A = this chain, B = another copy of it.
Amino acid sequence: MKKTMKGLVYGGPGKIELKEIPVPVIEKPTDALVKISKTTICGTDLGILHGKTPSCKPGTTLGHEGVGVIEEVGGSVRNFKKGDHVIISCITSDGTCEYCKKQMYAHCEDGGWILGHLINGTQTEFVRIPHADNSLHPIPAGADEEALVMLSDILPTGHEIGVLNGKVKPGDTIAIVGAGPVGMSALLTAQFYSPAKIYMIDLDDNRLQLAKTFGATDTINSGKEDVAKRIMSETKDGVDVAIEAVGVPMTFDVCQHIIRPGGHIANVGVHGKSVDLQLQDLWIRNITLTTGLVSTNTTPMLLKTVMSGKIDPNRLITHHFKLDEILKAYEVFGNASKEKAMKVIIEA
Measured CB to CB, the closest approach of chain B to A271, in angstroms, equals 4
Measured CB to CB, the closest approach of chain B to A148, in angstroms, equals 14
Given known pairs A169-B301, A261-B99, the reply for A289 and B289 (CB within 8 Å) is yes
Chain B residue with Cβ nearest A76: B76
Contact at B78–A75, with CB atoms within 8 Å?
no
Contact at A194–B275, with CB atoms within 8 Å?
no
Bound CA span A149–B7, Å: 53
Contact at B302–A291, with CB atoms within 8 Å?
no
Sorting the interface of chain A by its residue count into under 10, 10 to 19, 20 to 34 or 35 or more gives: 35 or more
Q: In the complex this chain forms, how many copies of it are found?
A: 4
- Give the secondary structure class of A's interface: loop
Contact at B276–A272, with CB atoms within 8 Å?
no
Bound CA span A285–B310, Å: 29
Q: Within 8 Å CB of A103, what residues of B?
A: 101-103
Residue in A98, A287, A304, A305 with the greatest tally of chain B CB atoms within 10 Å: A304
Residue in A236, A261, A278 with the greatest tally of chain B CB atoms within 10 Å: A261
Q: Within 8 Å CB of A278, what residues of B?
A: 274
Query: Can you add 8 more A-B contacts, CB < 8 Å, to A78-B94, A285-B291?
Result: A104-B261, A106-B286, A196-B307, A217-B308, A271-B279, A284-B291, A284-B293, A286-B293
- Interface residues of chain A, those whose CB is within 8 Å of chain B, are 28-30, 75-76, 78-79, 94-104, 106-107, 110, 133-134, 169-172, 191-194, 196-197, 217, 236, 247, 252, 261-262, 267, 269-280, 282-293, 295, 297, 300-305, 307-308, 310
Q: List 22 A-B contacts (CB under 8 A).
A: A29-B76, A78-B94, A95-B100, A95-B101, A96-B133, A101-B297, A101-B300, A104-B262, A104-B286, A107-B262, A170-B193, A170-B305, A171-B305, A192-B194, A194-B305, A247-B283, A267-B279, A270-B284, A273-B279, A277-B277, A287-B291, A288-B288
